[in-house]
Amino acid sequence: MDRAWRDGFLEGLRPEQPLTVSQWADLHRKLSSKASAEPGPWRTSRTPYLQEPMDCLSTSSLVQRVVLQFAAQTGKTEAGSNWLGYVIDHAPGPMLCVQPTVEMAKRLSKQRLESMIAETPVLAEKIAPARSRDSGNTMFSKEFPGGIMLLTGANSATGLRSAPCRYLFMDEIDAFPSDVDGEGDPVALAERRTTTFARRKILLTSTPTVKDFSRIEAEYQRSDQRRYYVPCPDCGEMQWLQWSRLKWDNLKPETARYECEKCGSKIEERHKPQMLLAGEWRATAPSNGKTAGFHLSGLYSPLGWLSWEQLVDDFLRAKSDAPMLKSFVNTRLAETWEEDYASKVSADGLFAKREDYEPGVCPDGVLLLTSGVDVQDNRLAVSVWGWGREEEGWLIWHQELFGDPTQPEVWGQLDHVLDTGWAKASGSELKISQMAIDSGGHCTHESYNYARERARQGAVVIKGSSKRNGPAVGKGSKVDVNWKGRIIKRGVALFIVGSDTIKTTLFGRLKHEESKLHFGLAADEEYYRQLTAEKQSLRYVKGFPVREWVKKASERNEALDCAVYAYAALQLCYRRYNRATMWDQLSKQGRPAPLRSKKEAPASAFTNNW
Ligand SMILES: [Zn+2]
């Protein structure tokens, strides 16, 4: 029995000719004028690097799992489409196509699939038009002789739990949610559909995202890690193209040339078509015979799609802006983005960068003050932060107020902080607009009572939440207060603070050379140790990596908590102003609104000096 016969027999299907996906595409595929910039017959020679990945999806290949970590504009979507056409026309069987969302699956069906079917005669013959009744052709389901193609989104557990499938296509997997409807990883959920098929095929594609989070990178690293080697036109040395070898004259993208790693000659882009045609995929890691992984950057994009000049131009625009640079690295270079800011911010570095302004004095630019209070068993740690336009921040003051928080004395010291008029360089004074007090420790009732009594002066209670990606400050709820044995119903407003979210924001700013966060002479070295006492670390939830903030063993982190709470307090201030005009208002009036009634300072001793 020949192999084509045997395959067909085993899968219970009619015999398949040993035609490959690339051969099928060259024979039958037409690119529509609607969906393609280059309409007309498909030519694999235009993107020679797509041939091997496509042919691994052919029924004659033993590979079961094909991983494409590709840059945008390299044709990976068309490679997927060719496979769909090949399955419908040549190797029918049940197939599931998963997009990141159901909405995107709808778009794929309407914009790409329908036009591919309409403009490719061999496909139009096999799939009835969607508008005829009982055609077996709907938005999310296409029937054809010997098979069916289902489309769904990775955000739908129901869709992923559909019937068994021999072919599974998961597109843009880095955009898949980590968990779908509480049922776990959508990739694993979908893959379970294929387990009954001995000759299954799975295609996973994506541009990558953040290092250690990227699904496609993890898949690629588990594969044989193929790179596309192309010859140098001058010396013939086979090499894979790397961004670091693209050279250009200062600020002149049009001078972009590729420097050969062997002979050093500067290769002009016009050689690219020949180089691509003479190229070959080479594995750079051991193979298990079943998984083929392919990595391709935008440097390989065919002439007329994305030039080296355009790449350099994109890079020059993006290089000083982190989100733009991330996008460049992900979509142009097809590499993951390393968010390493936490490791770059050190206590010594921050201490060395202190600026020359006195504790308790507000530098120019400060328009609003907030305070964060961390409640410990024998003290309150208190920071006062000044804020200006675009959330530029200044540490104004930081102290520990010693005393037992279950007793009134230490809270009396805190009154002084609230009552103080903090001097501006202009001679005027600022008072604290909002003070956020932690209620998560052992002294919840004392925190509640203090915030209730000082609510008019801007005191609120907050509770940290470590929920990932939570809002900086939640909606707030009224909670009961136990005041001298009497329960006051809904006596105080409690706000949930997204500590992880705020830490990520603050450290994102701290790492920059021209940081928007300033430190004067208000704090000693211990303060900076506490501020940097936490690092982001990687933890696995249901097999999927998540980053979370973790305190180093045996270190105190109150300074960081105080900064987080003071930032949360700033977010609460926004609720009292028109966000668009808030800083203008504040800079005109010179002191924050609304004005509060004066309160007499309590008699308790206030021992801190500044
Ligand atoms: Zn060379």
Predicted confidence (pLDDT) per residue in 81-116, tens digit: 999 999 999 999 999 999 999 999 999 998 889 889
Q: Which helix (H) or strand (E) holds 560?
A: helix 558-574
Decide if pLDDT at 608 tops 60: no
Please state the rounded mean pLDDT for residues 502-512. 83
Decide if pLDDT at 605 tops 50: no
**Angle subtended by helix axes 558-574 and 499-510, to nearest 10:** 100
Decide if pLDDT at 7 tops 80: no
DSSP state of 50: G
Those residues whose C-beta lies under 8 Å from the C-beta of residue 534, and which sit 6 or more positions away, are 342, 503, 549, 550, 551, 552, 557, 560
Which residue bears the tokens 């972009």? 256
Q: How far apart are the first and last CA of the chain?
A: 92
Total residue count of the chain as it appears in this document: 610
Decide if pLDDT at 541 tops 70: no
Decide if pLDDT at 394 tops 50: yes
Q: How many whole angstroms from 226 Cα to the centroid of ligand 1? A: 21
Q: How many whole angstroms from 299 Cα to the centroid of ligand 1? A: 17
Predicted local distance difference test score (pLDDT) of residue 341: 45
501: phi then psi, degrees, rounded to nearest 5 = -60, -45
Please state the rounded mean pLDDT for residues 420-438. 91
Q: How many whole angstroms from 232 Cα to the centroid of ligand 1? A: 5
Predicted confidence (pLDDT) per residue in 49-90, tens digit: 999 999 999 999 999 999 999 999 899 999 999 999 999 999
Predicted local distance difference test score (pLDDT) of residue 593: 44
Q: What is the pTM of this model?
A: 0.62
Predicted local distance difference test score (pLDDT) of residue 501: 86
Q: How many whole angstroms from 236 Cα to the centroid of ligand 1? A: 6
Q: How does residue 603 score in pLDDT terms, banded at 50, 70 and 90?
A: very low
370: phi then psi, degrees, rounded to nearest 5 = -130, 165
Q: What is the mean pLDDT of the chain?
A: 87
Q: How many whole angstroms from 227 Cα to the centroid of ligand 1? A: 18
Q: How many whole angstroms from 228 Cα to the centroid of ligand 1? A: 16
Predicted confidence (pLDDT) per residue in 377-389, tens digit: 899 999 999 999 9
Rama region for 441: left / alpha / beta (φ>0; ψ in -120 to 50; rest):
beta
Q: Tell me the longest C-alpha to C-alpha distance in the chain.
A: 100
Q: How many whole angstroms from 245 Cα to the centroid of ligand 1? A: 12
Q: How many whole angstroms from 167 Cα to the centroid of ligand 1? A: 42
Decide if pLDDT at 610 tops 70: no
Which residue bears the tokens 């998961």? 170
Helices and strands per DSSP (H, E), number in the chain:
21, 29
Q: How many whole angstroms from 217 Cα to the centroid of ligand 1? A: 30
Q: How many CB atoms lie within 10 A of CB 467?
A: 13
Predicted local distance difference test score (pLDDT) of residue 590: 57
CA distance 563 to 411: 20
Q: How many CB atoms lie within 10 A of CB 478?
A: 11
Q: How many whole angstroms from 307 Cα to the centroid of ligand 1? A: 20
Q: How many whole angstroms from 71 Cα to the centroid of ligand 1? A: 25
Q: How does residue 284 score in pLDDT terms, banded at 50, 70 and 90?
A: very high
Q: How many whole angstroms from 74 Cα to the centroid of ligand 1? A: 24
Structure token digits, residue 520: 């004067």
Q: How many whole angstroms from 242 Cα to the centroid of ligand 1? A: 14
Q: How many whole angstroms from 301 Cα to the centroid of ligand 1? A: 20
Which residue bears the tokens 């006492």? 533
Predicted local distance difference test score (pLDDT) of residue 61: 95
Torsion of CA 5, 7, 11, 15, to 10 degrees: -30
Q: How many CB atoms lie within 10 A of CB 599?
A: 13
SS3 524: coil
Q: How many whole angstroms from 45 Cα to the centroid of ligand 1? A: 23
CA distance 96 to 382: 57
Predicted local distance difference test score (pLDDT) of residue 427: 81
Q: How many whole angstroms from 216 Cα to the centroid of ligand 1? A: 32
Decide if pLDDT at 594 tops 60: no
Predicted local distance difference test score (pLDDT) of residue 519: 94
Q: How many whole angstroms from 606 Cα to the centroid of ligand 1? A: 75
